[in-house]
Amino acid sequence: MSVKMNLHPFLNDGVELQLEIEGKTVGECLNNVIKRYPAMEKKLFAKKGELKGYVEIMVNSKSAYPNELIHPVNNDDVVSVLVFLAGG
Amino acid sequence: MDTLQNFLLAHTQGDLLPWEAQVQAAEYFSLTYSEIEEAALQLNILPSRYQRNRQTISTTQQFTLFHSTVAVIGCGGLGGYIIEELARLGVGNIKAIDPDVFEEHNLNRQILSTISVLGKPKADVAQARVNDINPAVNVIPIKDAFSKANGAELLHDANVVVDALDNIPVRIELAETCEMLKIPLVHGTIGGWYGQITTQLPGDKTIQKIYGRHSKATGVEKVLGNPSFTPAIIASLEVAETCKILLNQGTTLRKRVLFINLLDMEIEDIKI
């Protein structure tokens, strides 16, 4: 499966990324992104292999919460990896 | 000068009332500055402080703002600028809600924080600041944390609520309370170079759509912090939204979220 993935600029040191990436689930897609951009791992994942609390995954504009990493994806799905803002 | 009206008319220059005349009127008639400003606006006399408003905001609209109540939840990075701008705009009643005191790490961005107010309650400092700008503006300092439990009591008389909070769970509670009370909510939040803003009108459930069920989620500002410029920009946009709602003017960010990326100077306007 090949999906279109948009990554928030924070995840790539200020550069917004739009990628074509392979994977059958969101988790597989993210692992493939990390293979290309290893520095993203620390920004995406906590120590336990869980997504960081500020990461929001949208698949075709719908939240993939709560089981984002096993959320299935299909060809041409659009996966957006966003970050929550909460400061005031 | 037997009446306040005569006094104000006699001291008006053109159609503007200088501050000095407002002070004299308050002393002569034993009235508050708020009562003097109200009387002037009723006579279609504009206090001189608003003369740079009036190409944008008419005297009638200035009167509407004067009679408005805006609740600002949080008096920190966003809230400080919001309260300052609402006061200068001429919003007559501002509820400044924050349980915290100023700390040293606030000094990089919170406009109300200065060395001399470290350790003092943010809500009280907001009141003192506005009193210095315009004592006709009534600031009600509330040194309690907003929660769903006290929300209705705190917000029931607000025309607009402005979100200047610093966490997601309480934001969700605030949005639900505004939905229940049928009060418009202007939402803004920041993290590092990034900010977002939207306006939720009753029934929209916009905040629920943004944060979903992520009641335990955190914000990226825990990693990025907040520099001085991001709160100033997002706060100003929140005040512009508030002004439009109060005056029923223009096009708000209802059912849209504006994402602002100051690092690349990009703005995205997303329908939600």
**Residue B261: pLDDT above 80?**
yes
Q: Tell me, what's the pLDDT at B97?
A: 98
- CATH 3.40.50.720, applies to B68-271: yes
Please give the Cα distance from A72 to A65 (Å, whole number): 12
Could you tell me the pLDDT band of residue A14, with boundaries at 50, 70 and 90?
low
Answer yes or no: is pLDDT of B183 > 60: yes
Q: Which residues are CB-contacts of B196 (< 8 A; sequence separation ≥ 6)? A: A85, B187, B188, B189, B210, B234, B257, B258, B259, B260
Mean pLDDT over A44-66 rounds to 90
Q: Average of pLDDT values for B139-163?
A: 98
From the list B196, B218, B263, which residue is nearest A54 (CB)? B218
Chain B contact set for A54 (CB, 8 A): 217-220, 222-223
**pLDDT score for B242:** 98
Work out the average pLDDT over A56-71.
Answer: 92
Q: Which residue has the higher pLDDT, B215 or B97?
A: B97
**Looking at the predicted structure, is the pLDDT value of residue A18 above 60?**
yes
pTM score of the predicted model: 0.94
Tokens 């809600």 locate to: B97
Residue-range domain boundaries for chain B: 4-57, 68-271
pLDDT of residue A47: 82
pLDDT of residue B1 exceeding 60: no
Which residues have C-beta within 8 Å of that of residue B187, sequence separation ≥ 6? B163, B171, B175, B196, B197, B198, B199, B200, B206, B207, B210, B238
As a whole number, the mean pLDDT across chain B is 96
How deeply is A69 buried, as exposed, middle or buried, from its count of CB atoms within 10 A (0-12, 13-18, 19+)?
A: middle
Q: pLDDT tens digits, residue range B152-178?
A: 999 999 999 999 999 999 999 999 999
Of all residues in chain A, what percent carry a pLDDT higher than 70?
97
Q: By the CB < 8 Å criterion, does A56 face chain B?
A: yes
What is residue A12's predicted lDDT score, i.e. its pLDDT?
Answer: 82
- The answer, for A16 touching chain B at a CB cutoff of 8 Å, is yes
pLDDT of residue A48: 81
- Partner-chain contact B217 A56, CB within 8 Å: yes
pLDDT in tens, B220-236: 999 999 999 999 999 99
Indicate the burial class of B242 (C-beta count within 10 angstroms; 0-12, 13-18, 19 or more).
buried
For an interface test with A, give the residue of B194, B208, B214 to mutate (most A CBs within 10 A): B214
| Domain range annotation of chain A | 2-83
- What gap in Å lies between CA B96 and CA B91, rounded to an integer? 13
Provide, for chain A, the percentages of residues in helix, strand and coil under a 3-state DSSP scheme, each rounded to the nearest 5.
25, 35, 40
Tens-digit pLDDT profile for residues B29-49: 999 999 999 999 999 999 999
Q: What is the pLDDT of residue B86?
A: 98
Q: pLDDT tens-digit profile of B108-118?
A: 999 999 999 99
User: How confident is the model at residue B178, as a pLDDT?
Assistant: 98
May I ask the CATH class of domain A2-83? alpha beta
For the segment B240-246, the average pLDDT, to the nearest whole number, is 98
Is residue A61 very low, low, confident or very high in pLDDT (cuts 50, 70, 90)? confident
Confidence label for B215 from pLDDT (cuts 50, 70 and 90)? low
